[in-house]
Structure 1
Amino acid sequence: MASEKINTSDHLNYNTVYQSQGGYPQGGYPQGAYPQAGYPQGGYPQGGYPQAGYPSGGYPPPPQPGFQPAGYGAQGYGDPAGYAGQGSNFGEDADVKGFDFNEQSIRKSFIRKVYGILMCQLLVTLSFITLFLYHTPTKLWVQRNTFMFWIAFAVVLVTLIAMACCHSVRRTAPMNFIFLGIFTVAESFLLGVTSSMYASDAVMIAVGLTAAVCLALTLFAFQTKWDFTVMGGALLCATVVLLIFGIVAIFVPGKTMTLIYASLGALIFSLYLIYDTQLMMGGKHKFTISPEEYVFAALNLYLDIINIFIYILTIIGAVRD
């Protein structure tokens, strides 16, 4: 108790003397005397405070698991492990929105997904064509029930318009896969009915030629330095001209007219295949398709291949007739 009284008395004397002299001595506080406000609770941080002061707005929050904003780690606030200098963390799935489509890993994953969906569509279509071509009871049943053709045609139109016009339909899973599956089955049914009107060897020749043409055009689209993504307007005009020419060909039938019409159609949709492939690739091309549109990209490529097959089959049939 005596020592506490002495210290308290000394502390009051020090404060009285220092305040009367206009402040505290330059040499610092004497032992046993502390400033009135006291030191901060918890003590000073190890290593001291930064010399340049605190950053405006305070320090950023600690990194959370998952995705990080672009540029995180560039200002010294931390760099995700394994991605030093890149400024972002790709997390578990790279095929999500919020990332630059020019990133190589995102583009490759997007292309793999599109071609995976496309291969499933083509396998379903080829199965229907084979069934209608070689299974006689099925072929006879379709020929007796022509209303099935028009039902499938209506389903194709409805699902195609829904996927082309509604972003939520083609971007929201599993709705996009449901609509794409219904469209693929209906379109495969139509192709099966159409193929059953031709000889089996003619159909197989058309399938082989379509596969060869599409493979060659796809490799060309991946390798060429020409940018076909700027040809969207020209291809649209060519499609309108082809549509008008097809209406005229209905009223002016003939082998020559059919050959010209089918040849123009095969040429235009071959250009469309290159165009849609480069839209999917992105990178050096002027226009690209979003990585969220993998269903729409697969639908475009599927329609291009199907139209090329139909026009090649029409050419073979016209030559044989």
Structure 2
Amino acid sequence: MAQVQQVMYVDPSLGEDGGNTQFDFTEQTIRKAFIRKVYAILMCQLLVTMGFIALFVFHEPTIQFVRQNTYLFWVALAVVFVSMIAMACCDNVRRTTPMNFIFLFIFTLAQSFLLGVATSSFEINEVFMAVGITAAVCLGLTLFAFQTKWDFTLIGGGLVAASMVLLMFGLIAIFIPSNNIVRLVYASLGVLLFSLYLVYDTQLMMGGKHKYSISPEEYIFAALNLYLDIINIFLLILMIMRSS
């Protein structure tokens, strides 16, 4: 899954050297309200996603209908990419209400549909185990990001480079004959990478003493980043379970 690059903001009032100091929250209340809003949006996204997964796992007619109408998969895939690119690249789309919520809702529906299709090929116990592991991992990483003194916002460039390496690894693995070890290594590295992304995106949202932060106006963008991190971790954990 594609990962959205973060948008950094420089405070122009800091003068010529402002490039070294990023936008920061000036009031604890603003920061806390922003974080609450992001997590409220994120929880709604995850609830919709879990609803689709449960539908595809427990309702056999839905699975059969989608398998008989494969065009739905490609339509959902196109909607995911178009809506994600629109929110990532167009300030007006992700900052203007209610347009930003409409685009995020459309993206979440399409992405949840794709996740439902993906999980329909797994056993119910595998899906539930992956959901539990993902929830535990994401909760632990979020608490770590809030408590640690390490500033992970400094490693954005390294994460992008690691993403390119993982992408090339995945492309090469396509041409390797079916091998569980290769898939297991790829998925394990992917979980590690997106776990770092989750900590990175969480600290961008927190602001405070971190070198880089994200504007309070970008609550849709922040929720989108966290959502993508979580679903990528979930999918890669499913791949690990299948490969092992």
Q: TM-score, normalised by structure 2?
A: 0.89
CA shift for structure 1 position 144 = 1.4
Q: Which residue of 2 aligns with 1:271?
A: 196
Structure 1 segment 120-139 matched on structure 2, within 5 A: 120-139=44-63
Q: Which residue of 2 aligns with 1:209?
A: 133
CA shift for structure 1 position 109 = 0.2
In 1: Cα distance, 2:86 partner to 2:123 partner: 35
Alignment pair present for 1:283 and 2:199: no
Q: Which residue of 2 aligns with 1:314?
A: 239
In 1: Cα distance, 2:212 partner to 2:24 partner: 14
Q: Which residue of 2 aligns with 1:303?
A: 228
Gap change, CA 1:257 and 1:147, over 3 Å in 2: same
Q: Which residue of 2 aligns with 1:227?
A: 151
Structure 1 segment 46-125 matched on structure 2, within 5 A: 101-125=25-49
In 1: Cα distance, 2:61 partner to 2:47 partner: 22
| Higher normalized helix content (fraction of residues) | 2
Determine what percentage of the aligned residue pairs are the same residue. 68
In 2: Cα distance, 1:288 partner to 1:184 partner: 24
Structure 1 segment 133-148 matched on structure 2, within 5 A: 133-148=57-72
Q: Which residue of 1 aligns with 2:106?
A: 182
> Cα RMSD between the aligned structures?
0.9
Look at both structures and tell me which one has the larger radius of gyration over its CA atoms: 1
Q: Which residue of 2 aligns with 1:258?
A: 183
- Which amino acid in 2 is paired with 1:296? F
In 1: Cα distance, 2:191 partner to 2:126 partner: 17
Q: Matched residue of 2:216: which SS?
A: coil
CA shift for structure 1 position 102 = 3.0
After superposition, the C-alpha distances for 1:228-285 in whole angstroms (9 at most, x for unaligned) are 0000000000000111000011111310000000001100000000000000000010
- Which amino acid in 2 is paired with 1:220? F
After superposition, the C-alpha distances for 1:109-134 in whole angstroms (9 at most, x for unaligned) are 00000000000000000000000000
Q: TM-score, normalised by structure 1?
A: 0.68
Q: Matched residue of 1:101: which SS?
A: coil
In 1: Cα distance, 2:185 partner to 2:70 partner: 29
Q: Matched residue of 2:117: which SS?
A: helix
Q: Matched residue of 2:217: which SS?
A: coil
Higher relative contact order (CA 8 A, sep 6+): 2
Structure 1 segment 16-27 matched on structure 2, within 5 A: none
Q: Across the two proteins, how many residue pairs are aligned to each other?
A: 221
**Contact 1:125–1:191 at 8 Å: present in 2 too?**
yes
1:199 to 123, 126, 129: 123
**Contact 1:102–1:282 at 8 Å: present in 2 too?**
no
